[in-house]
Structure 1
Amino acid sequence: ADFAQMESQTLAQEEGDQEAFEQDIKDCKIEMARRQSESSQKAAEEKRTLEKKREMEATRKSVAGEKEATEQYLKDLQPACVEGSSTYDDRKAARAVEVQALTEAQSLLQKAFEDKADDVEKLGFLAAKRRSAAPA
């Protein structure tokens, strides 16, 4: 009787251990699938983060270039605009003198062309051409 009781206890124990083992295997497979899914999600997130980092580095590089160009432009303008020796009134007067000189040059050219046209009308086309070609 002791042997039969021990055998039945052992079989019951083995059956219980087998069920526990199968449950552990099932739980491990579920956990493994969850971790693989989590791993693939983390890998995708890492890829996105690295791409974003590359984009930001490229943006930073272009912005740094723009900043450097702007600073150089400001540096180039500094002498003329901030430290310049001429005032607005000086520049305005110089521009007025320049406009006056251009106006005088324009009137001289108009007068020269009018005189040439008068010669053509008075002397005729061929005579005016001979006169302008003759050595002075």
Structure 2
Amino acid sequence: MRCPHCGNYIENTIWEALKPYRGVTDRVVITNIDTILDVGPRIRAIFEEKNGKLKIRGYQAVTLKKVARALRVPLYYIERIDDRVRLFEFDRYQRVNSGEFLRADHLIPVFSGSVEEFGDWIYRKYILHTPPSSKGRKKWWR
């Protein structure tokens, strides 16, 4: 399969398995999700990390937006350079303009600081007040 923007082949197991169907799968987008934050009884957020430069391909932004919207969770992009982290939220209901890369003005700055400070931010925002997943549930043994 080819990237719809740069034309390079994207190699992974799914693409390799779909090689015989290349002409049929031009509308297929396969992307990975870097991090899913699952705390307590539910998924809390989706994070996509970019090291060094915040270049987000448009087709990946659309796919991640669909996943975040379906799960009703925020979608964040992390830009990390050494020990510094900048976090941006992407409004999962906004339209993604066509183009190779997502424009920077589509991202909402949320956090800037060290990796340790970022951990504190995640803890305060998503972990601190979340009830444990086993509270009030029966335990199932395998």
Q: Please tell me the TM-score bracket, short chain as reference.
A: under 0.3
Larger radius of gyration: 1
TM-score, normalised relative to structure 1:
0.19
TM-score, normalised relative to structure 2:
0.19
